[in-house]
Amino acid sequence: MKKQMRESLAGYAWISPWLFGFVVFLALPAAMSLYFSFTDYPLLESPVWVGGKNYTRMLTDSTLHTTLLNTGVYAAATIPLSVALSVVLAALINTRGLVGRRFFEVAVFVPTLVPLVAGAMVWMWLLNGEFGFLNQVLGIFWIDGPNWLLDKNWAMPALILIAIWGVGQSTVLSLAALREVPQQLYEAAELDGMGPIRSFFNVTLPMISPMILFNTITMMIGVLQVFVVPYVIFQKDRGGPGMRGYFYTSYLYDNAFSYGQMGYACAMAWVQTLIILILTGLMFYASRKLVHYRSA
């Protein structure tokens, strides 16, 4: 018993740095933000308890509804496009006999290493309506490119395009999953008369479906918190053209640090957490039939 106790204490001592970090930098701030979400807290003054007012206020806040809609549209487009593109890119890179495979792997992954702010600045020029590279390329095909970042109808597609550019991380994960698919399954599929496309849908996709689920969930968590890129790009035009570049987290940030509404911002953060938890739960539920786990 004494030895067990000693070992337990030693164990706790070893994990104490993590425990300390978890309590001080995560659990405590989370608990405090939950408390603040029930207060009126302008940051410069002490919080005053207001009960559930911050939560009921969300029901009638039209700006919040706009940002929620923008975030939903952004997520609905970005997640499936990014997941699909990452699988397709991984499959292409995994093609047998591909010359320069390493180069393509690096080329796809490099954008994820670029700091978001630097990436956003570069994209601002790439998408410039007058001198932007994208419109110059479109011009070669006699297409008059839009004012991507100044046009209400094109701001959202532009942001989605920028998000998809950072698909490298999920592509690398998909690539790793693809390489784990047993070769004999493809041989069996070939014997059954499957061509490459049927084999992709009947063998590859089911076998990498756990990785697709992982990519989808992590991407959803990131995308629903989108902030940096629209914040940098639309710093001058607050909210972007027609507010199309104004997202849930941007509004949360403004409430916290510009409008003196830290209590409301905390309530928004908790609702955001709840939304992410529910969607993650739904995805796990749906995955029971869609995701194939190899038995040990």
User: Which residues here bind another protein, judged by CB under 8 A?
Assistant: 10, 13-14, 17, 40, 42-45, 48-50, 62-63, 128-131, 147, 149-152, 236-239, 241-243, 246, 254, 257-260
Strand, coil or helix: 261: coil
Q: What Å distances lie between residue 262 and 37, 44, 65, 225, CA to CA?
A: 8, 10, 18, 17
| Contact predicate 209/291, CB 8 Å | yes
Q: How far apart are CA 166 and CA 160, in angstroms?
A: 10
Q: How far apart are CA 127 and CA 147, in angstroms?
A: 8
| Contact predicate 245/66, CB 8 Å | no
In the bound complex, what is the minimum distance in angstroms from residue 223's beta carbon to another protein?
23
In the bound complex, what is the minimum distance in angstroms from residue 224's beta carbon to another protein?
22
Q: How far apart are CA 10 and CA 279, in angstroms?
A: 39
Strand, coil or helix: 22: helix
Q: Which is nearer to another protein, 95 or 235 (CB)?
A: 235
Q: Which is nearer to another protein, 42 or 72 (CB)?
A: 42
In the bound complex, what is the minimum distance in angstroms from residue 198's beta carbon to another protein?
47
Q: Which is nearer to another protein, 237 or 279 (CB)?
A: 237
In the bound complex, what is the minimum distance in angstroms from residue 217's beta carbon to another protein?
32
| Other C-beta atoms lying within 10 Å of the C-beta of residue 247 | 30
Q: Which is nearer to another protein, 82 or 147 (CB)?
A: 147
| DSSP H or E segment with residue 206 | helix 205-223
What lies within 8 Å, CB to CB, of 53 at 6+ separation is 40
Q: Which is nearer to another protein, 83 or 264 (CB)?
A: 264
In the bound complex, what is the minimum distance in angstroms from residue 28's beta carbon to another protein?
14
Q: Which is nearer to another protein, 45 or 180 (CB)?
A: 45
Q: Which is nearer to another protein, 111 or 242 (CB)?
A: 242
List own/partner pairs for 113-116 with CB under 8 A and 24 or more apart: 116/228, 116/229, 116/232
